[in-house]
Amino acid sequence: MTVPEPVAVSSEALRIFALIGDIEWFGIDVGYDDGGTRRTPPQIVWRFEIEPEGFLEWLRDTVEGYEGTVAWTIDQPDRNFLLLPKRVSEELVARAGVSGKDVARDIGIADPEFANDAISDLRPLLAFLRAAIAHPGA
């Protein structure tokens, strides 16, 4: 049985972050709408039961050191970690008060090529993170 791509990406992301610590909550938007026709930049949000010491700085440096198709970053609203394309993060700041889902949708409509690039870049980014977790400092 073949696992649908969104499910495979979600499972992979959850396994990677669970290598760091116990996950209390996890959510992912892999960039596909319900009909599978419109694309939005993907984002992953999660929180640990106990945040590992120094993890935010390490994760932000690691993610921003990834050289993929699009630039990525980490935000930390409250206790949650948010992995998303840097362009979406910058738009969220510029459009204070607008939901992340609305910002991502608007970017996907205005620039579907960027949304597709970000979707395609998510799995390589996750592989990069897995390698960085397995070999810190390498």
Q: Which domain holds residue 12?
A: 5-80+115-133
Rounded distance, CA 32 to CA 12, Å? 17
In a domain, 101, yes or no: no
Least confident segment among 29-38, 74-83, 128-137: 29-38
108 touches 32 (CB < 8 A): no
pLDDT band at 137 (very low <50, low <70, confident <90, very high): low
pTM comes to 0.89
In a domain, 72, yes or no: yes
For 121, residues 6+ apart whose C-beta sits below 8 A from its C-beta are: 68, 69, 70, 72
For 111, residues 6+ apart whose C-beta sits below 8 A from its C-beta are: none
Helix (H, G, I), strand (E, B) or coil at 84: strand
The rounded mean pLDDT for the chain is 89
pLDDT band at 3 (very low <50, low <70, confident <90, very high): very low
How many structural domains compose the chain? 1
6 touches 27 (CB < 8 A): no
In a domain, 48, yes or no: yes
In a domain, 33, yes or no: yes
**Residue 34 per-residue DSSP state:** T
Condensed to tens digits (0 to 9), the pLDDT of residues 12-58 reads 999 999 998 999 999 998 887 655 667 899 999 999 999 888 889 99
Q: What mean pLDDT comes out for the span 86-105?
A: 92
